[in-house]
Amino acid sequence: MDAEFIPALRFAVLTPWYDRVVAWSTREAAMKARVVALAAPRSGERVLDLGCGTGTLLLALAKAAPGASLTGVDADPTILALATAKTQAAGVGARLLPGWSNALPLPQSCFDAAVSTLFFHHLQPHAKRRTVQELLRVLRPGGRLVIADFGRADAGWRRGMFHMVRLLDGYPNTRDHAAGTLATYLLDAGFVDVRSLAPLPVPLGSIDFLVATRPARA
Ligand SMILES: C[S@@+](CC[C@H](N)C(=O)[O-])C[C@H]1O[C@@H](n2cnc3c(N)ncnc32)[C@H](O)[C@@H]1O
């Protein structure tokens, strides 16, 4: 394991509890429904879920576009086993790959769209930079990116609640989320049409939604 790796709930022993905790603390159903709507997957498209965790978003993508070809990547074999069990139980044929986001085990230009939820705040700034470059590489020209993750909450008490996340997952990796500057990584890497949409207030802070496109001519 990478020394910087931060598991889903920081401690591997908490991984089996992940789905229950995230469901209420991040308004998961509403948040992931919005990501699916923004990604707008179509039958026949190839879609990546980066840092897929237990596979909940893959299930929602499959429901929205049953004919899409879905791939989930995550560094943690324990959580990928949970994702495998969930997708198989739901009859969803997603490809689940172990891998690090800063060196994706995938060829270039192999996805029409990529999504990622609650993942980037697990990465240190240098890993965020490298990961965004990898997303640019694996998306086809014109490919779409949708990211949902913690941002800077408007209300002071929500910014206070975000400290619970930061205490658990770490401060250096969440600093740019507390500052609301995640979009900068996308712009610096060369994504275009980068937009930050209306945030979703959640019990543990506020979720930002970022959409971006790989330039048609890279
Ligand atoms: C908070 S969980 C989010 C899981 C899922 N996307 C969701 O919305 O429920 C963060 C996930 O990122 C994975 N992860 C953390 N660092 C990673 C890295 N460098 N490369 C790939 N996966 C990583 C963890 O194993 C974990 O499953």
One digit per residue, the tens of pLDDT, for the chain of length 218 reads 677 888 777 867 777 888 887 888 889 999 999 999 999 999 999 999 999 999 999 999 999 999 999 999 999 999 999 999 999 999 999 999 999 999 999 999 999 999 999 999 999 999 999 999 999 999 999 999 999 999 999 999 999 999 999 999 999 999 999 999 999 999 999 999 999 999 999 999 999 999 999 999 75
CA-proximal residue: ligand 1, atom 9 (nearest)? 53
Q: Which residues contact 167 (CB under 8 A, 6 or more apart)?
A: none
First to last CA, the chain: 33
CATH number of the domain residue 22 falls in: 3.40.50.150
Whether the model pTM is above 0.85 = yes
Q: Which two tokens stand for residue 164?
A: 């619970």
Residue 137 lies in a domain: yes
What are phi and psi for residue 43, nearest 5 degrees? -55, 135
Residues paired with 73 in a beta bridge: 50, 97
Run of H or E residues at 100: none
Q: For residue 49, what are the domain limits?
A: 12-213
| Residue 218 placed within a domain | no
C-alpha 100 to ligand 1 mean position (Å): 10
Residue 1 near ligand 1, beta carbon < 6 Å:
no
**DSSP H or E stretch at residue 25:** helix 18-25
